[in-house]
Amino acid sequence: MRPKKTPMRMCTGCGQMKPKKELVRVVRAPQKEGEQGQVPPPEISLDLTGKKPGRGAYLCRDAQCLQLARKARRLERAFSCKIPEEVYDRMEEEIRAAQEAAQPPQAPPEIVIEEEPLGKGGA
Ligand SMILES: [Zn+2]
């Protein structure tokens, strides 16, 4: 059995390399030609389907990583544009929703029963 090669991407928040499918893509939509030479504000959004066109950056499916990227302004640097606060807020909500969908809160905690060797004296 040969292991499948997984494409790896770096999270813009924590900087860790992770398999692409474990990350969520943040995409900046291709800039449309503005009327009368006006440059429209860039459209930044989460791409949960991985199919949106445009320039992308990757984040863990974790609101914490988005917050890290937001604080360090790494997404702004990646896209070389300003990102309005409300865009961050919306992305954070979306990422939280995706997180909850991926990990149902009712999942029982994993219980590990450790078997202790018997017949050994203490102290
Ligand atoms: Zn991360």
Ordered by where they begin, the domains of the chain are 8-31+40-102 (3.30.1230.10)
- Residue partners of 80: CB distance under 8 A and separation at least 6: none
- In a 3-state reduction of DSSP, which class is residue 35? helix
Which of 12-21, 34-43, 67-76, 111-120 has the lowest average pLDDT? Answer: 34-43
pLDDT for 10 beyond 80 = yes
* Range among 17-31, 59-73, 89-103 with highest mean pLDDT value: 59-73
Whole-number pLDDT of residue 120: 62
Mean pLDDT of all residues in 49-53: 88
| Residue 114 pLDDT greater than 90, yes or no | no
**Distance (Å) from CA 25 to ligand 1 centroid:** 12
Ligand 1 centroid–CA 11 distance in Å is 5
**C-alpha 35 to ligand 1 mean position (Å):** 38
pLDDT recorded at residue 33: 64
Distance 104 CA to ligand 1 centre (A): 20
Q: What is the mean pLDDT of residues 45-65?
A: 93
Instruction: Compute how many other C-beta atoms are within 10 angstroms of the C-beta atom of residue 69.
Output: 27
C-alpha of residue 51 to centroid of ligand 1, in Å: 21
For residue 76, report the distance from its CA to the centre of ligand 1, in Å: 16
Identify the pLDDT of residue 122: 57
> Per-residue pLDDT for 105 more than 70?
no
